[in-house]
Structure 1
Amino acid sequence: MDLDFKTCTLSDVELLSEVAKETFHETFADTNSSETMNAYLESSFNKEQLKKEIRNHNSLFLFLYSNGELAGYLKVNEKDAQTEFQEKDGLEIERIYLRKEFQGQGLGSSLLEKAISIATDRNKKYVWLGVWEHNEKAISFYEHKGFAKTGSHTFLMGEEQQIDYIMRKELN
Structure 2
Amino acid sequence: MSAFKIEAATPLDARSLAALSIEVWLDTYATEGISDSFAAHVLETYTPEAFAGALADRNKYLLVARNDVGLMGYVLLNLKVDPVSPGSGTAEFETLYVRRHHQRLGLGRRLFDNALKLAAAAGQEKLFLTVYEKNDRAIAFYEALGMRHEGRWTFEFEGGAVPNLIMVRETDM
**TM-score normalised to the size of structure 1?**
0.85
Work out the CA distance in 1 between the residues paired with 2:42 and 2:109.
Answer: 25
* Segment drifting more, 109-118 vs 11-20: 11-20
**C-alpha root-mean-square deviation of aligned residues, in Å?**
2.4
For residues 39-79 of structure 1, the C-alpha deviation after alignment (integer angstroms, 9 at most, x for no partner) is 11111112233322222211121111146642111100012
Work out the CA distance in 2 between the residues paired with 1:30 and 1:132.
Answer: 12
8 A Cα contact 2:59 2:79, kept in partner: yes
Work out the CA distance in 2 between the residues paired with 1:20 and 1:72.
Answer: 9
> Which fold has the larger relative contact order, with Cα–Cα distance below 8 Å and residues 6 or more apart in sequence?
2
Aligned twin of 1:105: 105
Residues 33-72 of structure 1: matches in 2 within 5 Å? 33-66=34-67, 69-72=70-73
As a proportion of its length, which structure holds more helix?
A: 1
8 A Cα contact 1:43 1:49, kept in partner: no
Q: Does 1:25 align with 2:21?
A: no
Identity %: 25
Work out the CA distance in 1 between the residues paired with 2:68 and 2:100.
Answer: 16
Q: Given residue 44 of structure 2, which amino acid in structure 1 is its aligned partner?
A: S
8 A Cα contact 2:153 2:166, kept in partner: yes
Give the length in aligned residue pairs. Answer: 170
Residues 1-172 of structure 1: matches in 2 within 5 Å? 2-31=3-32, 33-66=34-67, 69-80=70-81, 84=84, 90-172=90-172
Work out the CA distance in 2 between the residues paired with 1:93 and 1:73.
Answer: 11
Q: Closer, same or farther in 2 for the Cα pair 1:27/1:150, shift >3 Å? A: same
Work out the CA distance in 1 between the residues paired with 2:124 and 2:54.
Answer: 21
Q: Given residue 124 of structure 1, which amino acid in structure 2 is its aligned partner?
A: Q
Point out where structure 2 has 5 or more consecutive residues left out of the alignment: none
Point out where structure 1 has 5 or more consecutive residues left out of the alignment: none
**TM-score normalised to the size of structure 2?**
0.85
Work out the CA distance in 2 between the residues paired with 1:164 and 1:98.
Answer: 18
Helix, strand or coil: the match of 1:30? coil
